[in-house]
Amino acid sequence: MDTTFTQPILTLRPENAPPAFHLLAKPTGAICNLDCAYCFFLDKEVFYPGSKFRMTDPLLEQYIRQLIEAHQGDSVNIAWQGGEPTLMGLDFYCRAMTLVEKYRRPGMTFLHTMQTNGTLLDDAWAAFFAEHNFLIGISIDGPRALHDVYRVDKGGKPTFDNVMRGVRLLQQHGVDFNVLTTVNRVNGDYPLEVYRFLRDEVGATWMQFIPVVERINSDGLTIYQEGATVSDRSVGAEQFGRFLSAIFDEWVSRDVGSIYVQTFEAALRNWLGMGASGMCVFNATCGTGLAIEHNGDLYACDHFVEPKYLLGNIQQQHMIELVSSPQQIKFGQDKRDTLPRYCLDCDVRFACHGECPKNRFIETPDGDPGLNYLCAGFKHFFHHADFAMKLMAGLIRRGRDAREVMPILARAFAGVQRNDSCPCGSGRKFKQCHGQAQPRTSITALPAPLARSAIER
């Protein structure tokens, strides 16, 4: 057992410490059993040359103890991510559960979560997750033809069957799960195929759609958040807006209240003016969603695991002091304070807030730096969703059920002709607005050379 490090004890809680925060633990660092082409984690191995990339047992104990101490309230989220966190083996997480029991205060509740590619799951894992009420996030990019474009194993082989096997195991054991779908240049053209597959075939009721934006710096590297060009795997800005809008139309016409799409839930909260959207990217400020590496290094955010954003190591300084450090406070406030004038004047800023700083690397039409690469897509989506969002927000404010929006919209759009004014009040013709034909491309029309070259790379 490694006993070389000190054990920081919390003697005085910093005055400005947040009562709660979200910390993603990466016990295997960036190590994964897959080799997804767009994965920004895999490259991060270079920051820890010679490392075994395994969180030690003493550090695990410090981590759990400090995380519990750092939370003022009774509710703590213990979140595992990677790389691939199941590579630590089940015993590691059994020990984590024992440590939670050791350090918990009376009355505390814990939400255990894990983001996994699902390919290494078996009955023992699923039974463990069920026993401890884990919420599992499964990474899946859509039906087979779309998923297997980029989500391949170390030998370049497709992974779809193994992921679905993992999903079915979770379902057999009654484990709660949601799906995380990265939206890239290929599946970005197939919104309804992706959504319907997740809803109808996977059986997911909670979905996250995360845009792939892979910056390339002047050395051709994607490790750092540098450079103003993106890889050809990255989703296009307008493409992402169309993707969200197409899924939104399907969701708002039939799935409100039964399917939860994180982006839509966050948007509705912002239309309601709730202050916190539930997604850091759509909040005015951030800084309470951090990441901890396998060796105890604490970073400002999972997307900024690079030396410039290292806050310190929990073996030398208590986690809550790092979370509330001036460096981290500034990191979170910069999200708001560095918005370009173009965003400050934007009519959907209340919903977008300039999204994530990691994507702010293009110029505004006036030539100011710091505009979000996905801006055109967000403008498209938030304008598109505005009519239904206002309706849902109005219903909720009057104490009614947001699901009532579905029959209201059905009545509003019934019998509208293509050349009529759109009932949403945009002033555009129906055919150019909510009556716009959505992409209905068949998956069989997937651009085969692109798919093959990705798999065979």
Nearest to 109 by CA among 90, 133, 93, 91: 133
Q: How far is the CB of 328 from ligand SF4 (least distance, A)?
A: 10
- Please, which residue, 74 or 345, has the CB nearer to ligand SF4? 345
Q: Least separation, in Å, of the C-beta of 342 and ligand SF4?
A: 5
Stretch that binds ligand SF4, among 77-85, 200-208, 314-322, 347-355 (CB under 6 A): 347-355
**Interacting positions 368-387 with ligand SF4 (CB under 6 A):** 372, 375, 378-379
Q: Binding to ligand SF4 by residue 267, rule CB under 6 A?
A: no
Report how far residue 210's alpha carbon sits from residue 230's, in angstroms, rounded to the nearest whole number: 16
Question: Rounded CA gap, 320 and 76, in Å?
Answer: 14
Shortest gap between Cβ of 290 and ligand SF4 (angstroms)? 8
x-or-dash string of contact with ligand SF4, 287-316, rule CB under 6 A: --x-----------x-x-------------
Q: Which is nearer to ligand SF4, 233 or 379 (CB)?
A: 379
| 302 belongs to the catalytic site | yes
Q: Is 27 among the residues that bind ligand SF4 (CB under 6 A)? A: no
Number of C-beta neighbours around residue 337 at 10 A: 10
Comparing CB distances to ligand SF4, the nearer of 187 and 225 is 225
Judged by CB under 6 A, the stretch of 8-16, 152-160, 181-189, 339-347 that binds ligand SF4 is: 339-347
Among 24, 125, 354, 434, binds ligand SF4 (CB under 6 A): 354
Measured from the CB atom, the residue of 142 and 211 that comes closer to ligand SF4 is 211
Could you say whether residue 199 binds ligand SF4 (CB under 6 A)?
no
Quote the least distance from Cβ 339 to ligand SF4, whole Å: 7
Based on the shown chain and the rule CB under 6 A, indicate whether residue 114 belongs to the binding site for ligand SF4.
no
Dihedral of the alpha carbons of 144, 149, 152, 154, in degrees to the nearest 10: 150
Measured in residues, the chain has a length of 457
Select from 25, 256, 352, 392 the one that contacts ligand SF4 (CB under 6 A).
352
Q: Is 215 an interacting residue with respect to ligand SF4 (CB under 6 A)?
A: no
Given the residues 122, 302, 366, 368, select the one marked as catalytic.
302
Our finding on whether 115 is near ligand SF4 (CB under 6 A) is no
Q: Which is nearer to ligand SF4, 212 or 343 (CB)?
A: 343
Indicate whether 233 belongs to the interface with ligand SF4 (CB under 6 A): no
| 204, 244, 267, 281: residue in contact with ligand SF4 (rule CB under 6 A) | 281
Using CB under 6 A, list all residues that contact ligand SF4: 280-281, 286, 289, 301, 303, 335, 342-343, 346, 348-349, 352, 354-358, 372, 375, 378-379
Active site residues: 302
